Structure 1
Amino acid sequence: MATSVVHARLAATVSLLALSLGAPALAQTTPPAEQATTVEDIIVTAQKREESIQDVPVAISAFSAENLDAMKIEGGSELLRAVPNVSFSKNNFSMYNFSIRGIGTKAISAASDPAVAVSFNNSPLIRNRLFEQEYLDVNRVEVLRGPQGTLYGRNATAGVVNMIPNMPGPDFEAFLKAETGNYGSMRGQMMVNIPLTDTLWLRAAAGLTKREGFDHNTFNDTRVNGRDLYSTRLSAAWEPSDRFNVNLIWEHFGEDDNRSRTGKQLCATDAGPSSVGGIAVTSETLRGRMSQGCRPVSLYDDAAYGVPNGAGMSQIYLGSAFSLVGMFTTPLPATRKGFTFITPDVDPYAGLTQSRNLREISTSYDPIFRAENDIFQLNINYDISDSLKFISQTAYSEDSYYSSQDYTRYVTNEIFNDSSKIYNRQGVLTPHPMTPGGFYNDPQLGLSNRMLSVDLSKSENNQIYQEFRLQSSFDSRFNFNVGANYMKFKTQDDYYVFSNLFSFLAEAYYNGASSNRIPIECTSTSSIECIYVDPNRLSDINGDGHNYFRSKNQVETESWAIFGEAYVDVRDDLKLTVGLRYTDDTKVTTPYPSQLLLGVWSLLGYGPSSGGKVSRGYPADEIVKQNWDALTGRAVIDWKVNDDLMVYASYSRGYKGGGTNPPRADIDPTVIQYMPLASTFDPEYVNAIEIGAKGQYFDGRVRLNATAFYYDYKDYQVSQIVDRISLNENFDAKSMGLELEGVYQVTPNFRLDANFGLLKTKIDSGEKSIDVMNRTQGNPDWMVLRPWLQVPSNCIAPKKYVEKILSVPSTNQWNALTALCGGSARSGSFTPDITTNFKFYEQYGFTYNPFKDAENAGKGFYADLSGNELPNAPRWTANIGAQYTWFYGAWEATIRADYYKQANSYFRVYNTEYDRIRSWDNANVSVSIENASTGLRFGAYVKNIFNDTSIVDAFTNSDDSMLTTNVFVTDPRLFGVNISKSF
């Protein structure tokens, strides 16, 4: 964004505030006598004991319910506006990436853990919906920045987000709130707190939100990306004595709407070369074989709103090559070529473009989004003595998730031919049973004459967590906090991609369609190579089909730890904190290789031409058991300079477990040889040094906290899609930065607050990775080619060999180019270590083994990552807010404005122009009028005043998805008015 635009936006925001602050001359502005002039203190449990936020030697931001409401932070995704050096985005599948100081969850795997530990009332939750649901009856939210290797332990290498709900109390309370706004928004919340006896109290809260979609689907003329969600919480507290209390919580969240998991899909069309070495390439299909589909350009370039080059898609080529001999579109055919279901050499995307409106898609399939989450928590607190407390915390959670959407979000050209009026040689009308209604009828996606593709991301998981702690409050110079915990987490994550081309190929080539028969039913004992086609609709699939891609992942994680912290008052103004934690993690992964369009060993002696081993279902490979143990912790020295200023210095070490990469296809290596990839990834470790100061000045009217930090990170986990899986890689990195948080209570009426984060991340020297968007790294002697159907990833090949193939006129050029990627276009046995077995090329005058003769077995040349920035690590973030309150007798009116901005960042480790996420900003304003004596309150707000649509993150899809890019964007301008009543 240009500097002038930023200045204009700041001026507009400040002008709005100035206009509101000019009103005091028209009204009585003297605050009530009890109105404070000092900054309000917040009590936090960052060290799992109640302390003033200013006394905790940890970089922490905390927000009361009133703070959250004033800033219109209605869920975890919006916390980035209030916390320095934080970024947030949904990811491509079922989770999200909440980054603190450039460290987040860039590893995508069922076996990966978040780097920011998300907790509900101090219980960590590996899977949760705390960043999709809206806050309900919240006491406060705490965000701890930096490794929390002692008390919070595993998965806290970046920090902790802890949501603390309001608990039942001894007094009757009730609250009702109703809201309406744009996009047909309707929102409601309620709470009631009932004391049943002097020692037993109940509290219930509920909230719901309904909103029409933010985005427009122009093909169906529907609104999508809407919200229909609700939350309920029931809690009970029993306090029979001052020394003993118990509370029990159940929280349920549900969502059932058309939320889009990802945004628009961008692509700069890669047309492929028009010539190679002076040899003209006139065939669009051959150009497609030498095209990636999409080329890497800035996501902000007009070219990014194109579509892939589909001419080189193997499934199109193979589908158009299938014809029904002796079947014709007229009773007296002029030719004897036979009927083809798919037009030969068709590009399903030819001539198409996309709207530049990021809130506009075009699809025949509207998104489906469903999620449910339940959390049960039992807390027991027992004061063994006046200075010794025992705490038990038990938590159980279940989470289910189902999200389906169009895989591309744009409609293709018509590619299927009408088979309802085809004739046999005798001129008899003979419709084909595979295409009732005239066009191919996919069992999951239905009838269409276009190419359809839909994905489905779903997960089912549960977790149990138990923690015991013993903490002291001695009236001496020594105290401690010791404990142990146990966690067991089970998950099954499934990701599907459905395509009517996949199903068509399965039925046409393998299952008897060429004989004009209904496809055969495949079993594990089928006597011919057979691909099982799931006959059920998408909403009721059996999961055994080989006509769709399925990545099935089952992981069980078991972890236990013992930990302790000691607090020593070296002297009255100097305290030493030392903490250690021993963690033992075990992960058991059951890998299920994918089976897309693979068949069985033929029992008729013809060999496994498709490379498959089973005809139906997803047999598991051997389980993979991984175990790590880690010693983490921290040492802190803090000095109370005076009553208003504390400075501290700390060293901390954090750890996050490793895991397994998802399994690839179950291909027989004697038919198709995969390029080698790592099957596991390593744990992360971080050593962090931090210095900070927390101070209050001018009689408590100003609070200013500052932090500087340095990270030495080992094996940071980052993934990209390779061979249809999320390949997780490890990189060492350094990170350093500065954070400032300030609050200025100018007068009892007027408050200013701001935060600023400065961040510099750097990947260590010598780190490298293959960039799927640029496999040749500019080497002019090599070029990218598309592989055969069963080979998922593109490869590089010597340009000189491509020239030789193109110089020999042949109908087999397509296969020859494909074979340079090590595909199945060859005859005879295949042993990749023996170059002479690649005799397919002898007709072109050369021999070539891609697994021996190409760089990295044909995967490509490494990109040097030395000095690159980590993804989702903007150089700086800043927020400034101001609010003013007028007092009119029993009434008070408050206006607040907030402005947030973050700098440029990258969404991948390669730091190319394609990877750049431009800086973006956000401005909000809210107004409230409240009568404290009656509990009546009226409110109004506008979020994203300038109605910006900013890209906040992106995700590069697989090679066989043509390297398209899914983008994630901010919400549009939202406004609403509400009324609430407290009792």
Structure 2
Amino acid sequence: MKGSFFARAACTTSIVAITALSAVPSYGQESDQPAASAATGETAESVPGGNVIIVTAQKREESIMDVPIAISAISAEALNNQKIEGGSELLRAVPNVNFSKSNFSMYNFSIRGVGTKSISAASDPAVAVSFNNTPLIRNRLFESEFFDMARIEVLRGPQGTLYGRNATAGVVNLIPAMPTPDFAGEIRAEVGSFGTTRASGMLNIPLSNTLAARVAGAWTKRDGYDFNTFTGKKVNGRDLWSTRAILEWEPSDRFNANLVWQHFEEDDNRSRTGKNLCTRDPGKTMIGDTPVPVSQFEPVPLSSKFSQGCLPGSLYSDDAYGAPNAEALAFIAAGRIVLNMGRDPDKGNLVPAFLPGDPFADVVQSRDLREIATSYDPVFRAKNDVVQLNLDFGVSDDLRLVSQTAYARDRYYSSQDYNRFVSGPIFSDTTDLVGPFFGLPINQEFAAPGGIFVDPQLGASNRLLAIDISRSRNRQWSQEFRLQSDYDGAFNFNIGTNYLNFKTQDDYFVLNNAFTYLAYNLYNRRGTPADYIDCQPSTTEYDCVYVDPNPLGSLDEMGHNYFLSRNLVETESWAVFAEGYWKIADTVNITAGIRWTKDKKTTTPVPSQLLLGAGTNGTSGGSIAGGYPQGDPVVQKWSEPTGRIVVDWRPNLDFSDDTLIYASVSRGYKGGGTNPPRPDIDPFVVQFQPLPATFEPEYLTAFEIGTKNSFDGGRLILNATGFYYDYQGYQISKIVDRISLNENFDATVWGLEFEAAWRPSRAFRLDTNLGYLKTRLKEGAQSIDVMNRTQGNEDWVLIRPWLQVPSNCIAPRDIVEQVLANPLTSFGLGFPALSALCGGTAELGTFTPEIDGLPLYQFYGFEYNPLTDAPNGGRGFYADLEGNELPNAPRLTFNIGAQYTFFIDEGDWELTFRGDYYRQSKSFARVYNTEYDRLKAWDNANLAITLERPASQIAFQFYVKNLFNDTPITDFFTNSDDSGLTTNVFTLDPRIFGFNVTKRF
């Protein structure tokens, strides 16, 4: 398409309006014009006066019917009428798409089973999210809402030539509405359920014959979807706003430029995750034929050593609404077994730091996923800015040089209750306690008088308090140059180069008042009566743990009384690409493209330091008392080719108005990364099983055939696609030793997609799409399932280790039985003896490092080294995953939408009813495909009623989203071993209804 930019902008805008499948025809459009599919945005060129939607999927303007790619283009009107208000709802318009929030600051947008199951800061998304053709590595697609859009393009399949890295699965391209030559505006106001108040607007101002501006904004405020029964407050609410300003200048028909600024901001109590589920693991009372002894010398039941906290039961069972066995948590055991706060002067007995019993024993969670009971309400803040400069210079009538420069900055902060349920009292009353030898009163400064401990960050409480903070700060620069031809001959090309620089710091904190209590009293207490060391980050004369004295909002981030995972990553990427379009016959075209990408990723490791100190004769296992020293940077480099070859044929068929048939082979690539470093523990104290420090890139080779068809003068659109993927290195994370360990898996994927849009009359429209997907992990796929480390092998037993060892282990049943049968166990040595089987130094010196720093068992008469004598160093048996399905890859996805318009008072008023129904079949959340992993099928229905008077440019709309108020579990995340393997679940928004009024001028 040639001519001035403003002419092209006006033409494209009108085309989008004409072809959009909307409940209300755009003002000024011909009412008998066939409409596009909401999913495909298509209508036939053969209709007299008709047009097709223009897309930029190949980074040039062309009809969607001419693009040999599986693409869905959703117009602004279609977004409004289907109530697709954010990225999480795009799955309702595109086949074989799945979306769910994931842990920390991430989300998983997957296309054809390929998504982002890696949550490391060093990993990249598999679906490239672009704003106006500029890729954004970090974005607010999950949180932000669409406003003043021209369209959204979703390209399915690897787009490695023009979009490059991180487009293994496809591309989501957000195209904003651009300035036009005419003055125009729009105002919309809305009220609805949950106290919803929303407003949006747009103003388009021509400043001169060559200069125009467009400003738009949107604001949403809504009460919480969830109710916290403990605090009595509604949580998971929304308070967010966005704005965009675009300035466009066209001094001549050979040059145009536009400057775009978009800002998003949110500050509310949105919940980052849903409910925390758990099928409680009570532990074992028998190991083989040997009973687990109950000893009066063990302040914690020995059976809890064989509990992992939560069992891998179905998340749909009533049993899943429990809480973990807290006596299996190592920090609870430490406060009972090792830490005594003093002696009761009346009874003469030593008083442990923590009260006896399971503090979670009385937890009964509501079966309502929207009802929680937590001691801390969520805090959520996000800011995102994108600035883009686009220059388009006509070198000649048929040759254009395009420059796109973009800067993006993203800030994110989310804090919520870590446990997601309320414990019972935990701290022993230290009011009258005296020292064990001289009978002098103990120092109460950091004790718990009255059973209440004052944590410097979490405040005063007699309960177990734990919160987490997920925080990220990042920025991105990108530059792309393209030289594009538009010759009248048989050959055209698109060649270019680009550069991207991305820096991020992702921090994850877990703060727990029990951690602080142990830091003060297990490591920082000296003398009789108890005195406390003034432990500072630089302290070396004592083995102490520095406690951050600052409140939550102003941490010095030096404390070892909390867990901090800090991830520093810089990515630099260079690429050159070329794509040629050759018309070898009147009806046959060949597209061939290649891209060479050179990636450099620099990760600076920062080990965590929870309850680790340093000093003379240290026993905590740390190297410093406070602070988080950086390690040596890890530099990774890859140079990878990607590309595609497409043959498309436009036959002249008697039974269709227009048909396109294409076949393609394409290759996608996504860079690898580093696994975060494990805790900085002295190997003399803890012998870690080696884990890979890095993970490999992903590669995807895709074979695809497809057809696009128009019938009956454009009133019927039928599209079909079939594809097969050879997938190498799918990156998937799990928590091991308190880090996100990323593993690579090979798989095959094949599927089918069907899209249809039918408008038999001016009043009635129907559109539908169907996706079928079959995914399989390849031969040799294996992984250790942290929820089932023994894999049913009765000769091995799961054991919960001691405080310094983060992950559970397995040990030989015969050795465990010997330990249990030994008289020493009955005298209080059961806990340290069993802990030693996990490879960490247990209390009471039950073993000492010997050969090469590896432990030798002493008191029980045999030698055992888990690093050499147990499968995978004691981590567990591999689960055979061959033939398993990929996570979040439902076999079927289906959507159907229909609308009917009544023309009232000779067409002065138009009343439109629209309904949309979406369903996806069951799937799995993890690669293990166990009953625990199963996600049930779910559906979603939406209704909208719109009354419009075109002559007055005013419209009234009432809508209902999630009509049946369903609460499906869309995905989940398994937490760490040392928090009991609880499960964070994610779900949909509840039923929402709203009423809005729109006035255009």
Is TM-score (shorter-chain normalized) higher than 0.5?
Answer: yes
Q: Is 2:500 the counterpart of 1:503?
A: no
Separation (CA, whole Å) in 1 of partners of 2:864 and 2:751 = 51
Offset, 1:322? 5.2
Please show how residues 715-730 of structure 1 align to structure 2 within 5 Å: 715-730=729-744
Please, which of 323, 336, 357 is the counterpart of residue 348 of structure 2? Answer: 336
Q: Secondary structure at the match of 1:719?
A: strand
Q: Which residue of 2 aligns with 1:618?
A: 628
Separation (CA, whole Å) in 2 of partners of 1:971 and 1:714 = 35
Separation (CA, whole Å) in 2 of partners of 1:277 and 1:728 = 35
- Residues 675-705 of structure 1 deviation map (CA, whole Å, 9 limit, x = unaligned): 1111100000010000000000122110011
Q: Secondary structure at the match of 2:690?
A: coil
Q: Which residue of 1 aligns with 2:7?
A: none
Q: Which residue of 2 aligns with 1:94?
A: 105
Q: Secondary structure at the match of 2:412?
A: strand
Rate the CA distance shift 1:393–1:812 in 2: closer, same or farther, 3 A: same
Please, which of 622, 631, 639 is the counterpart of residue 629 of structure 1? Answer: 639
Rate the CA distance shift 1:38–1:839 in 2: closer, same or farther, 3 A: closer
Separation (CA, whole Å) in 1 of partners of 2:927 and 2:621 = 34
Give 1:638's aligned amino acid: D
Offset, 1:511? 1.1
Please, which of 902, 909, 918 is the counterpart of residue 886 of structure 1? Answer: 902
Please, which of 851, 854, 868 is the counterpart of residue 852 of structure 1? Answer: 868
Q: Which residue of 2 aligns with 1:533?
A: 547
- Residues 446-504 of structure 1 deviation map (CA, whole Å, 9 limit, x = unaligned): 11111111100000000000000000000000000000000000000000111111111
Please, which of 756, 775, 779 is the counterpart of residue 742 of structure 1? Answer: 756
Please, which of 171, 174, 194 is the counterpart of residue 160 of structure 1? Answer: 171
Offset, 1:543? 0.9
Please, which of 157, 160, 165 is the counterpart of residue 149 of structure 1? Answer: 160
Separation (CA, whole Å) in 2 of partners of 1:672 and 1:428 = 37
Rate the CA distance shift 1:976–1:153 in 2: closer, same or farther, 3 A: same
Separation (CA, whole Å) in 2 of partners of 1:767 and 1:324 = 48
Q: Which residue of 1 aligns with 2:986?
A: 968
Please, which of 407, 411, 415 is the counterpart of residue 400 of structure 1? Answer: 411
Q: Secondary structure at the match of 2:705?
A: strand
Percentage of matched positions with identical amino acids = 58
Q: Secondary structure at the match of 2:828?
A: coil
Please, which of 893, 905, 920 is the counterpart of residue 877 of structure 1? Answer: 893
Separation (CA, whole Å) in 1 of partners of 2:456 and 2:449 = 13
Please, which of 789, 807, 819 is the counterpart of residue 775 of structure 1? Answer: 789
Q: Is the 8 A contact 1:557 1:588 kept in 2?
A: yes
Q: Which residue of 1 aligns with 2:531?
A: 517
Q: Which residue of 2 aligns with 1:817?
A: 834
Separation (CA, whole Å) in 1 of partners of 2:828 and 2:902 = 82
Separation (CA, whole Å) in 1 of partners of 2:715 and 2:810 = 64
Offset, 1:573? 0.4
Q: Is 2:701 the counterpart of 1:701?
A: no
Q: Is 2:695 the counterpart of 1:681?
A: yes
Separation (CA, whole Å) in 2 of partners of 1:325 and 1:44 = 70
Deviates most, 510-519 or 656-665: 510-519
Give 2:355's aligned amino acid: T
Offset, 1:419? 3.0
Q: Is the 8 A contact 2:101 2:142 kept in 1?
A: no
What is the number of residues matched between the two proteins? 941
Give 1:495's aligned amino acid: Y
Q: Which residue of 1 aligns with 2:302?
A: 286
Q: Which residue of 2 aligns with 1:8?
A: none
Q: Is 2:445 the counterpart of 1:453?
A: no
Offset, 1:34? 4.1
Please show how residues 916-927 of structure 1 align to structure 2 within 5 Å: 916-927=934-945
Offset, 1:131? 2.3
Q: Secondary structure at the match of 1:789?
A: coil
Separation (CA, whole Å) in 1 of partners of 2:1000 and 2:564 = 51
Separation (CA, whole Å) in 2 of partners of 1:957 and 1:844 = 34
Q: Which residue of 1 aligns with 2:150?
A: 139
Q: Is 2:180 the counterpart of 1:180?
A: no
Q: Which residue of 2 aligns with 1:24?
A: none
Q: Which residue of 1 aligns with 2:61?
A: 50
Q: Which residue of 2 aligns with 1:247?
A: 258
Rate the CA distance shift 1:832–1:929 in 2: closer, same or farther, 3 A: farther
Q: Which residue of 2 aligns with 1:19?
A: none
Give 1:956's aligned amino acid: T
Q: Secondary structure at the match of 1:416?
A: coil
Q: Which residue of 2 aligns with 1:609?
A: 619
Give 1:767's aligned amino acid: A
Give 1:69's aligned amino acid: N
Give 2:894's aligned amino acid: A
Please, which of 78, 91, 99 is the counterpart of residue 89 of structure 2? Answer: 78
Q: Is 2:875 the counterpart of 1:867?
A: no
Separation (CA, whole Å) in 2 of partners of 1:941 and 1:543 = 47
Separation (CA, whole Å) in 2 of partners of 1:407 and 1:600 = 28
Q: Is the 8 A contact 1:433 1:516 kept in 2?
A: no
Q: Is the 8 A contact 2:671 2:696 kept in 1?
A: yes
Q: Secondary structure at the match of 1:505?
A: helix
Q: Secondary structure at the match of 2:744?
A: strand
Please show how residues 575-614 of structure 1 align to structure 2 within 5 Å: 575-602=589-616, 606=617, 608-614=618-624
Structure 2 unmatched ranges of 5 or more: 1-27, 37-42, 44-51, 295-299
Separation (CA, whole Å) in 1 of partners of 2:537 and 2:666 = 56
Q: Is the 8 A contact 2:339 2:522 kept in 1?
A: no
Q: Secondary structure at the match of 2:74?
A: strand
Please, which of 930, 947, 954 is the counterpart of residue 972 of structure 2? Answer: 954
Offset, 1:980? 1.1
Q: Is the 8 A contact 1:673 1:832 kept in 2?
A: no
Q: Is the 8 A contact 2:684 2:849 kept in 1?
A: yes
Separation (CA, whole Å) in 2 of partners of 1:369 and 1:203 = 30
Q: Secondary structure at the match of 2:684?
A: coil
Separation (CA, whole Å) in 2 of partners of 1:244 and 1:441 = 66
Offset, 1:430? 6.4
Please, which of 490, 513, 518 is the counterpart of residue 503 of structure 2? Answer: 490
Give 2:659's aligned amino acid: L
Q: Is the 8 A contact 1:326 1:336 kept in 2?
A: no
Separation (CA, whole Å) in 1 of partners of 2:443 and 2:530 = 9
Give 1:932's aligned amino acid: P
Offset, 1:943? 0.5
Offset, 1:540? 1.2
Separation (CA, whole Å) in 2 of partners of 1:481 and 1:172 = 34
Q: Is 2:483 the counterpart of 1:467?
A: no
Separation (CA, whole Å) in 2 of partners of 1:323 and 1:762 = 50
Give 2:747's aligned amino acid: A
Offset, 1:930? 1.2
Separation (CA, whole Å) in 2 of partners of 1:580 and 1:291 = 54
Separation (CA, whole Å) in 1 of partners of 2:440 and 2:623 = 40
Q: Is the 8 A contact 1:224 1:260 kept in 2?
A: yes
Rate the CA distance shift 1:846–1:430 in 2: closer, same or farther, 3 A: closer
- Residues 617-668 of structure 1 deviation map (CA, whole Å, 9 limit, x = unaligned): 0111111000001000000000001350010000000000000011110111
Q: CA RMSD in A?
A: 1.7
Q: Is the 8 A contact 1:286 1:312 kept in 2?
A: no
Rate the CA distance shift 1:449–1:519 in 2: closer, same or farther, 3 A: farther
- Residues 807-857 of structure 1 deviation map (CA, whole Å, 9 limit, x = unaligned): 12231111101110011114675256577x5133xx323211111110111
Separation (CA, whole Å) in 2 of partners of 1:431 and 1:521 = 16
Q: Which residue of 1 aligns with 2:271?
A: 260
- Residues 396-439 of structure 1 deviation map (CA, whole Å, 9 limit, x = unaligned): 00000000000111001111123345467999876611147631
Give 1:412's aligned amino acid: S
- Residues 102-154 of structure 1 deviation map (CA, whole Å, 9 limit, x = unaligned): 00001111110000000000000000012210001100000000000100000
Rate the CA distance shift 1:392–1:456 in 2: closer, same or farther, 3 A: same
Structure 1 unmatched ranges of 5 or more: 1-30
Q: Secondary structure at the match of 2:714?
A: coil
Q: Secondary structure at the match of 1:963?
A: coil
Q: Is 2:999 the counterpart of 1:981?
A: yes
Q: Is the 8 A contact 1:434 1:513 kept in 2?
A: no
Q: Which residue of 2 aligns with 1:670?
A: 684
- Residues 866-925 of structure 1 deviation map (CA, whole Å, 9 limit, x = unaligned): 000000000010000001112223221111100000001000000001100000000000
Separation (CA, whole Å) in 2 of partners of 1:242 and 1:831 = 81
Separation (CA, whole Å) in 2 of partners of 1:365 and 1:834 = 43
